[in-house]
Amino acid sequence: MKARWINLARVAAVITAVTSWVVPGHAQDPLPSWADAAPKKAIMAFVDRVTKQDSSEFVPTAERIATFDNDGTLWAEQPIYFQLAFALDRVKVLAPLHPEWKDKEPFASLLRGDLKGALAGGEPIIGQLVMVTHAGMTTHEFEKIVSDWIANAKHPTTGRLYTEMVYQPMLELLAYLRANGFKTFMASGGGVDFMRVFSERVYGIPPEQVIGSSGKLSFEVRDGKPVLVKLPELNFVDDKTGKPIGIHILIGRRPIFAFGNSDGDLQMLQWTAAGSGARFVGVVHHTDAEHEWAYDRASHIGKLDKALDEATAEGWTVVSMKDNWKRIFPLEGK
């Protein structure tokens, strides 16, 4: 199956190679899509400090743990979280099996095409939609459904595959950290079973390094074969205080490097910053309305308010997508 995909990690590598070749003086630039500004300098200075053997802040390879939020940090999250787009598409597919949805909200509004009306109830409605569409099948069946969707579904405004709406500078950053002995993890509010379908292919992050929200599972034997069945019940929400908790339970070490983009990442960033020794804490600020979206304090998705204040107060690295990134997505220039 892998051969069918555009390998974005490879595209990123080619872009890096080409850029290195045509821009004199940047032959060794591991972050070609990053403008020569403070965030890039801070990242590279940090990596130098923790990897140079003679540095007073040297960190052994085993402790070089880096965690990244996904929605809004590694890929886009507008106009709705991509996993919610998946859930909405699933509602349409499943509707013939649920005639009762015609008279039941939020399904009725959704099936009439009234997305705004359907989602007016906010988080609980989203939770309900996710439960209905992410449970009642085996983990294997779900993986197949997500695989098919992610290979074909198109983003409503760009018309691109969702996996093409990942941030080129972050692909370079992930590769750069790994080349410097870091283990890169996702720590996302997204569903772990959803993200793992593409995390390795798209980000180079293997399934065992993906932390996310999850539903409860039951172990059953069907036709003599054991299966894991996804139940319509929450197991863990990997958001806000759930992020450091998820990181502790799954990794068992405190990251020395973390990147987020919203208030949902604040506790992960605080947890990372509070460790002893050198720390890097980064915040992606969505400022490029022309090539992506611009939003922060007032946004209903990826709200960045308290975390922006704390980033300023604590001297964390805030990345302006408009000013600090030369390219947003892998397949097009800025």
Shortest Å, Cβ 41 to a second copy: 27
Closer Cβ to a second copy, 237 or 294, answer by number? 237
Q: Using CB under 8 A as the criterion, what x/- string covers residues 250-289 for binding a second copy? A: xxxx-------------x--xx--x---------------
Q: Where are the alpha helices (DSSP H) in 226-318?
A: 242-250, 266-273, 306-314
Q: Tell me, what DSSP letter sits at residue 24? A: T
**Sequence-ordered list of residues with C-beta below 8 angstroms from that of 314, at least 6 positions apart, any chain:** 273, 281
181/110 Cα distance (integer angstroms): 46
Asked if 325 interacts with a second copy (CB under 8 A), we say: no
**Stretch of residues binding a second copy (CB under 8 A), selected from 25-33, 38-46, 154-162, 241-249:** 241-249
Shortest Å, Cβ 169 to a second copy: 25
Residue in 40, 64, 90, 196 binding a second copy, rule: CB under 8 A: 196
Closer Cβ to a second copy, 131 or 250, answer by number? 250
Asked if 214 interacts with a second copy (CB under 8 A), we say: yes
Q: Which two tokens stand for residue 120?
A: 């007016």
Q: Which two tokens stand for residue 301?
A: 């998705």
Shortest Å, Cβ 137 to a second copy: 14
Percent composition of the chain: helix, strand, coil (DSSP 3-state, to 5): 45, 20, 35
Q: Which two tokens stand for residue 122?
A: 């906010």
Q: Using CB under 8 A as the criterion, what x/- string covers residues 55-74 for binding a second copy? A: -------x--x---------
Q: Where are the alpha helices (DSSP H) in the chain?
A: 8-22, 38-51, 82-94, 107-111, 115-118, 123-134, 139-152, 168-179, 192-195, 242-250, 266-273, 306-314, 321-324
Asked if 139 interacts with a second copy (CB under 8 A), we say: yes
Asked if 218 interacts with a second copy (CB under 8 A), we say: yes
330/166 Cα distance (integer angstroms): 7
Residues that bind a second copy (CB under 8 A): 62, 65, 139, 183, 192-193, 196, 200, 206-210, 214, 217-219, 221, 225-226, 228, 235, 241, 244-245, 248-253, 267, 270-271, 274
